[in-house]
Amino acid sequence: MSTETLEKEVKEVKKPSEPLLSKKRKALLTNPLDEDNPITIQVLGICSALAVTVALKPTLVMAIAVTAVLVLANVVISALRNTIPNRIRIIVQLVVVASLVAIVDQVLKAYSYDVWKELSVFIGLIITNCIVMGRLEAFALGNKPWDAMLDGLGNSFGYAWIILAIAFFRELTGSGKLFGVKVLPEEYIGNGVMMSPAGACVLLGVLIWIIRSRNGYVED
């Protein structure tokens, strides 16, 4: 009880010095969208970016699933950060993430069975999605829950817009559809290369090229 009030006091003292959405915190949200993007700059979470982006619908579901898992896992790990022994932290992180993924998996199975079947193993692979582990290691273990939540939101939005962009081009050129609705004329014959993950790989390479020539990031 006493520690609780103490924490409250500390929080109240700190609050005026750092508003809920200070400049630093806004940067947590907006940086991952472009100059610190998890996919194009940090090279995290590539597996799912290539594997699930055949069409927009499963991609959107995947993006929502990753957002839910990443934000919750960030908050939980950040809340537990002072009680986790350093040596076993990876196993603790894996257990937290695996339980969250199991919940997401069951919710999807109940409410959106077709998409669940389509995504199959890739929902499970959110556990080892490097975005989740990477952000837990790099951010949640050293920051407060609110910051960790913003970081999780920012990174999952950065992830979401890249995979949605890839899915948009792949579905449009691959089958002439958007969200399963035909938008190109009937005569259009789908481009099989874009439907294959290999095409996605080349597309992602080109996308990275465009983004990096815009923001000037260069690898040595």
Q: Which residues bind another protein (CB under 8 A)?
A: 40, 43-47, 50-51, 54, 90-91, 94-95, 98-99, 101-102, 105-106, 118, 120-121, 124-125, 127-130, 133, 192-193, 195-202, 204-206, 208-209, 212-213, 216-220
- Label residues 49-59 b or e (16+ Cβ within 10 Å = b): bbbbbbbbbbb
Least Cβ distance, residue 144 to another protein (angstroms): 25
Toward another protein, which CB reaches closer, 152 or 199? Answer: 199
Toward another protein, which CB reaches closer, 8 or 214? Answer: 214
Toward another protein, which CB reaches closer, 44 or 160? Answer: 44
Q: How far is CA 55 from CA 40, 169, 220, in A?
A: 20, 9, 34
Q: Which amino acid is at 203?
A: L
In order, the DSSP letters of 160-196 are HHHHHHHHHHHHHHHHSEETTEE-S-TTPPP-HHHHS
Least Cβ distance, residue 176 to another protein (angstroms): 16
CA 135, CA 110: separation in Å to the nearest integer? Answer: 29
Toward another protein, which CB reaches closer, 32 or 150? Answer: 32
Least Cβ distance, residue 188 to another protein (angstroms): 17
CA 4, CA 27: separation in Å to the nearest integer? Answer: 30
Least Cβ distance, residue 152 to another protein (angstroms): 18
Toward another protein, which CB reaches closer, 183 or 202? Answer: 202
Least Cβ distance, residue 24 to another protein (angstroms): 28
Segment holding 108, helix H or strand E = helix 89-111
Contact 55, 167 (CB under 8 A): yes
